[in-house]
Amino acid sequence: MLFWGERGTGKSQILAYVTAWAHEKKWINLTISNHEDIVGGNFDILRHKNGLYLQFDLGKELLADFKHANEQFLTEFDVDMTYYGKYDISGIRDGEPEPNPKVWDPMRKVWSDSWKENLLENEIIDQNAQNERLNYRLSDKLRDPKKLIEIVDEGINNPEVSVSAFGEVLEQLYRTDKYQTLICMDGYNTFFQPSFYPSFRYANNKHYNNCIPPYDLAICRLLMKFDGHFMRNGVKVTATSHLRFFNHTMKPSDIKFPDGYHQKVSNLALNDFRNAMKYYEVTGFWENRYQREYQMETLFMETQGNWHCFKDTWARYQQLHS
Q: What's the pLDDT at 290?
A: 62
Looking at the fold, whether 176 and 129 belong to one and the same domain comes out as: yes
Looking at the fold, whether 39 and 129 belong to one and the same domain comes out as: yes
Q: What's the pLDDT at 321?
A: 63
Non-local CB neighbours of 71 within 8 Å, separated by 6+ positions: 149
Q: State the average pLDDT over residues 290-319.
A: 79
- Using CA atoms, how far apart are residues 219 and 241, in angstroms rounded to an integer? 19
Report the range of poorest mean pLDDT among 159-163, 243-247, 315-319.
243-247
Q: Is the pLDDT of residue 191 over 70?
A: yes
Quickly state the pLDDT bin for 249 (edges 50, 70, 90).
confident
Question: Measured at the alpha carbon of residue 55, what is the angle toward residues 153 and 214, in degrees to the nearest 5?
Answer: 135
- Using CA atoms, how far apart are residues 135 and 128, in angstroms rounded to an integer? 11
Closest to 77 (Cα-Cα) out of 166, 169, 141: 169
Looking at the fold, whether 246 and 228 belong to one and the same domain comes out as: yes
- pLDDT tens, 162-185? 999 999 999 999 999 999 999 999
Q: Is the pLDDT of residue 198 over 70?
A: yes
The identity of residue 197, as a single letter, is: Y
Looking at the fold, whether 232 and 283 belong to one and the same domain comes out as: no
Integer distance in angstroms from the first to the last C-alpha of the chain?
44
How far is the CA of 185 from the CAs of 16, 21, 132, 287, in angstroms? 10, 15, 34, 33
Q: What's the pLDDT at 288?
A: 65
Q: What's the pLDDT at 289?
A: 63
How far is the CA of 273 from the CAs of 5, 8, 130, 155, 300, in angstroms? 17, 13, 57, 45, 7
Looking at the fold, whether 44 and 83 belong to one and the same domain comes out as: yes
**CA 126 from centroid of its chain's CA atoms:** 32
| DSSP code at position 260 | T
Question: Counting Cβ atoms within 10 Å, is residue 248 exposed (0-12), middle (13-18) or buried (19+)?
Answer: exposed
Does residue 252 contact residue 2 with C-beta atoms inside 8 Å? yes
Q: State the average pLDDT over residues 36-56.
A: 89
- Using CA atoms, how far apart are residues 202 and 212, in angstroms rounded to an integer? 7
| DSSP code at position 94 | T
- Using CA atoms, how far apart are residues 211 and 42, in angstroms rounded to an integer? 14
- pLDDT tens, 126-160? 888 988 989 999 999 999 999 999 999 999 999 99
Give the H or E element holding residue 263: strand 262-264
- Using CA atoms, how far apart are residues 288 and 295, in angstroms rounded to an integer? 10
Q: State the average pLDDT over residues 84-112.
A: 89
Looking at the fold, whether 215 and 304 belong to one and the same domain comes out as: no
Q: What's the pLDDT at 208?
A: 67
Looking at the fold, whether 30 and 9 belong to one and the same domain comes out as: yes
Last residue of some domain: 241, 264, 287? 264
Looking at the fold, whether 32 and 161 belong to one and the same domain comes out as: yes
Entry pTM: 0.87
- Domain count along the chain: 2
- Using CA atoms, how far apart are residues 143 and 137, in angstroms rounded to an integer? 10
Looking at the fold, whether 59 and 103 belong to one and the same domain comes out as: yes
Looking at the fold, whether 214 and 257 belong to one and the same domain comes out as: yes
Q: For residue 22, what are the domain limits?
A: 2-264
Q: What's the pLDDT at 302?
A: 86
Quickly state the pLDDT bin for 305 (edges 50, 70, 90).
confident
Looking at the fold, whether 249 and 275 belong to one and the same domain comes out as: no
Looking at the fold, whether 200 and 52 belong to one and the same domain comes out as: yes
Helix (H, G, I), strand (E, B) or coil at 198: strand
- Give the other-Cβ count within 10 Å of 88's Cβ: 24
